[in-house]
């Protein structure tokens, strides 16, 4: 789950990180009032859960409350990368002298958190990593020791931060690490962390991605979830207890079990296809869950074929077949479907699907090859 910029910055502030003193609102009129309170120039920023808002026109400077109202009215009507803007953050405009990147995330290979800093802040860190990887400095953090002062200093030295800022930089790095640990985040980043004209450090933008599996420990954070902003398929999937991740291929996958789902995606790739999603319907899924899963898969316009890979252990193949039939009865589709049903009640499952105009497969390899061919044909 991602937090909005204003939510992330509020969390940062709780950990002693300096942020601009702005406020969030859903109306242009209130944007004007906030600008009035703040006095002087402000920046009006779209609150959507995607990066690159600046380039999309979602960040505008305003010289007066009047201009702030106009900017907010425009931004509140926008859609950025498919997401409607429902809130704007009005912050005092910063006088920016330099933009730094500072972030902490999990390094799975190192099995530790890693803090990264770069003097090339402001732009997306993935771009920096691709074009000028030498500009990213890293410190792995021992989870039992936490971030050590010398590590923050080493990052400050790496990005050639002027000495006068080292003390505050150290406090910000410590605060960021604390925010990351205490919220069970998988990513916490400040981009940009700016040096202002009056020589202060300030977090101008913030991004926090929380670990969904730890959300139960943070009811206050879970409450911040913005339903409007999530891809509707993922919200829908959660409602039915399905684990669904959208990908950009063209073969929709419906599988029971996360390991089998991973193997299914691998074998599709092996035979030259690309999975459109990861989907685990879980063990013992009933027909309604299967029907919901198929609806979600078919709602993706990129899906050119669907592959069912069901291993009936606790899950009964006949239940799955009933779910498929139920979904097909309500969605009108011509997408070819390949089924591999093995295990509990497989004969019954196959018999139910016999008239459903589906491609049957004898093995996983056979199913994957048929799905790849169907997607291409």
Q: Which residues bind ligand GDP (CB under 6 A)?
A: 43, 45, 51-54, 59, 91, 93-94, 96, 99, 122, 191-192, 204-205
Residue among 49 and 251 whose Cβ is closer to ligand GDP: 49
Query: Cβ–Cβ contacts within 10 Å for residue 97, how many?
Result: 12
Residue 16: which of ligand GDP, Mn ion, none does it interact with, CB under 5 to 8 A by kind? none
Q: What is the DSSP letter of 300?
A: S
By residue count, the chain amounts to: 377
Shortest CB 329 distance to ligand GDP, Å:
44
Residue 233: which of ligand GDP, Mn ion, none does it interact with, CB under 5 to 8 A by kind? none
Residue 93: which of Mn ion, ligand GDP, none does it interact with, CB under 5 to 8 A by kind? ligand GDP
Residue among 44 and 321 whose Cβ is closer to ligand GDP: 44
Helix/strand number for the chain, H first, E second: 13, 19
Residue among 61 and 110 whose Cβ is closer to ligand GDP: 61
Shortest CB 205 distance to Mn ion, Å:
4
Q: What is the DSSP letter of 350?
A: H
Q: What angle do CA 118, 123, 126 make, to 5 degrees?
A: 75
| Cβ atoms of residues 287 and 293 within 8 Å | no
Q: State how far the Cα of 211 lies from the Cα of 183, in Å rounded to an integer.
A: 9
Q: What is the DSSP letter of 252?
A: E
Shortest CB 161 distance to ligand GDP, Å:
17
Shortest CB 128 distance to ligand GDP, Å:
13
Residue 325: which of Mn ion, ligand GDP, none does it interact with, CB under 5 to 8 A by kind? none
Beta strands 251-255; 305-312: pairing state: parallel
Identify which range of 162-170, 182-190, 201-209, 285-293 contacts Mn ion by CB under 5 A.
Answer: 201-209
Q: Among this protein's residues, is 101 annotated catalytic?
A: yes
Q: State how far the Cα of 92 lies from the Cα of 153, in Å rounded to an integer.
A: 29
Beta strands 79-80; 83-84: pairing state: antiparallel
Q: Figure out which of the listed residues 191, 264, 315, 344 binds Mn ion, where binding follows CB under 5 A.
A: 191
1 CB-near residues (< 8 Å, 6+ apart): 209, 210, 212, 215, 221, 222, 225
Spot the catalytic one: 5, 189, 229, 346.
189
What SS3 class is residue 189?
A: strand
Residue among 55 and 111 whose Cβ is closer to Mn ion: 55
Q: Among this protein's residues, is 189 annotated catalytic?
A: yes
Catalytically annotated residues? 101, 189
User: Where does this chain bind Mn ion (CB under 5 A)?
Assistant: 191, 205
């Amino acid at each position: 789950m991602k937090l909005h910029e204003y939510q992330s910055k509020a969390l940062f502030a709780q950990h002693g990180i300096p942020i601009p003193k702005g406020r969030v609102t859903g109306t242009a009129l209130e944007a004007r009032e906030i600008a009035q309170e703040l006095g002087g120039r402000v920046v009006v920023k779209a609150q959507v859960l995607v990066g690159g808002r600046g380039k999309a026109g979602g960040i505008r400077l305003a010289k007066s409350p009047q201009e702030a109202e106009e900017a907010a009215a425009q931004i509140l009507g926008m859609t950025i990368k498919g997401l409607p803007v429902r809130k704007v953050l009005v912050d005092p405009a910063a006088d920016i002298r330099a933009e730094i990147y500072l972030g902490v995330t999990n390094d799975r290979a190192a099995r530790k958190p890693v803090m990264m800093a770069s003097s090339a802040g402001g732009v997306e860190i993935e771009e920096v990593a691709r074009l000028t990887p030498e500009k990213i400095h890293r410190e792995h953090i021992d989870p039992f020791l936490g971030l050590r002062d010398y590590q923050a200093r080493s990052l400050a030295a790496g990005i050639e931060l002027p000495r006068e800022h080292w003390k505050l930089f150290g406090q910000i790095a410590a605060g960021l690490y604390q925010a990351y640990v205490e919220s069970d985040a998988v990513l916490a980043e400040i981009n940009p962390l700016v040096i202002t004209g009056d020589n202060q450090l300030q977090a101008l933008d913030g991004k926090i991605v929380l670990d969904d599996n730890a959300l139960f420990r943070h009811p206050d954070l879970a409450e911040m979830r913005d339903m409007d902003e999530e891809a509707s398929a993922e919200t829908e999937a959660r409602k039915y207890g399905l684990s669904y991740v959208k990908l950009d291929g063209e073969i929709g996958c419906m599988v029971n079990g996360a390991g089998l789902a991973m193997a299914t995606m691998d074998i599709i790739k092996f035979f030259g296809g690309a999975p459109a999603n990861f989907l685990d319907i879980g063990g013992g899924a009933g027909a309604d869950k299967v029907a919901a899963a198929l609806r979600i898969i078919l709602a993706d316009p990129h899906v050119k074929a669907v592959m069912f890979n069901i291993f009936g252990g606790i899950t009964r193949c006949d239940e799955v077949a009933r779910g498929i039939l139920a979904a097909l009865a309500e969605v009108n589709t011509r997408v070819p479907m390949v089924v591999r049903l093995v295990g509990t009640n497989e004969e019954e499952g196959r018999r139910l699907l016999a008239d459903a105009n589906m491609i049957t497969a004898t093995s996983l390899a056979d199913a994957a090859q048929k799905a790849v061919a169907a997607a291409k044909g």
